Amino acid sequence: MTTEQLVDAYTWMTLSRVVDERAFTLQRQGRLGTFSPTKGQEASVVGSAMALTVGQDWIVPQYRELGACLVHGLPLDLWFMYWMGNMSGGRIPDDVRILPVQISLAAQLPHAVGLAWARRLQNLDDVVIAYFGDGASSEGDFHEALNFAGVLRVPVIFFLQNNGWAISTPRSAQTAATSFACRAQGYGVAGATVDGNDVVAVYEVTKEAVARARADEGSTLIESITYRLGPHNTADDHTRYVAEGEMETMAEFDPIVRLRTHLISQGLWDEHRDTELLAGHARRAQQAAVTAEARRPHYSQVFDHVFARPTPRLARQAAEAERRHGQEPS
């Protein structure tokens, strides 16, 4: 990575961390729904996203890829709107090549393969990257998507974030395989393992996978070994299953601290710039949250986009909601 890219990576990673902190506070205040922080996985998410071409390649996220979505142009206020329960927040702008957040584990992986296949059939030079966790690799959709991708040799990258836990299930109980990446061989795709807390290493291995995909050499399964520095989501109590002292030990490998230390040692960064950067992030996160909160969702959104043509039952429910809503005091 160039000097400029390293500073950019640090900027995106720290923005992700600051937004996490702001969102966590809002959730505890009852102003934002349950969400999954990226804390500890910023290098994994940002490094891989920066290896793609913004405006050309596609990101298919799960729900812990805030940094990647920001790199590729997702407006931050839309991210807040989505987690505040506003359906409009899930409407990705036409010029942003990201699919909506997917909560159901691995359900986005066949979509990613289909998207990559469609782009290849149109003779386009796009690459698709799909993010998911180690827990999602136990779902049937993961295996079907890998098999489909291997047979069709589509330009898709499966980016598995092995953060040590699938909610409270440890990696040791997830698979007996020596690694998740070694599964790639069984599907006829390339496999790679990378230190997910090293943004440069993540960038390099993803860049190689992108080049392979563009050269029509098939798909890649990347296992990014990182660590979740906190709960699975804001409804989870990780202290009930993480061994005492483990979180503190793993915090020593914090990817943000690691990159900042490197930048300072190379004379590319200093404490003054760091303070200014974080203050700017805090203002940006606050403004985006305020903007999102001002766009309160309408109750009727729960009936929109369920079916192309509302069923009689859905229409009755919508009418009943309208009737009851009209009787409520303002």
Question: Does 327 score more than 70 pLDDT?
Answer: no
**pLDDT for position 305:** 77
Res. 7: pLDDT tops 60: yes
Give residue 330's pLDDT. Answer: 47
Give the orientation angle of helix 140-152 with respect to helix 108-121, to 10 degrees.
20
Closest listed residue to residue 184, CA positions, set 149, 217, 212? 149
Q: Roughly what angle, to the nearest 10 degrees, separates helices 3-28 and 255-265?
A: 140
241: annotated active-site residue: yes
Contact in structure between 188 and 126 (CB atoms under 8 Å) = no
pTM, to two decimals: 0.94
Span 43-49, mean pLDDT?
98
Q: Give the number of residues written for the chain.
A: 330
270-307 burial, b if ≥16 CB within 10 A, otherwise e?
eeeeeeebeeebeebbeebbeebbeeeeeeeeebeeee
Active-site residue flag, 228: yes
For residue 168, name the pLDDT band (cuts at 50, 70, 90). very high
Instruction: Determine the average pLDDT of the residues in 25-53.
Output: 97
What are the residue ranges spanned by the domains of the chain? 3-297, 299-330
Q: What is the DSSP letter of 176?
A: S
The DSSP result for 180-229, as a single string, is SGGGHHHHT-EEEEEETT-HHHHHHHHHHHHHHHHTT---EEEEEE----
Q: What percentage of residues in the chain have a pLDDT greater than 70?
A: 99
Phi, psi of 22 (to 5 degrees): -65, -45
Torsion-angle region of 215 (φ positive above 0: left; ψ -120 to 50: alpha; else: beta): alpha
Interval 306-325 mean pLDDT: 92
> Could you say which of 97, 232, 260, 281 is catalytic?
232
Answer with the residue of higher pLDDT: 302 or 99: 99
What per-residue confidence (pLDDT) applies to 328? 59
Q: Is the pLDDT of residue 291 over 90?
A: yes
CA 148 to chain centre: 23
Question: Could you tell me the two tokens for 286?
Answer: 């606050």
Q: Would you call 169 helix, strand, or coil by DSSP?
A: strand
Q: Among residues 28, 241, 305, 325, which one is catalytic?
A: 241
Distance separating alpha carbons of residues 170 and 38, to the nearest angstrom: 18
Query: Does the structure show a pLDDT above 90 at 78?
Result: yes
CATH of domain 3-297: 3.40.50.970
Q: Please give the average per-residue pLDDT across 183-212, as a whole number.
A: 98
Contact (CB, 8 A) for 252 and 6? no
pLDDT tens per residue, range 91-140: 999 999 999 999 999 999 999 999 999 999 999 999 999 999 999 999 99
Catalytic one of 22, 72, 228, 281: 228
Q: pLDDT tens-digit profile of 194-206? A: 999 999 999 999 9
- Averaged pLDDT, 264-289: 98
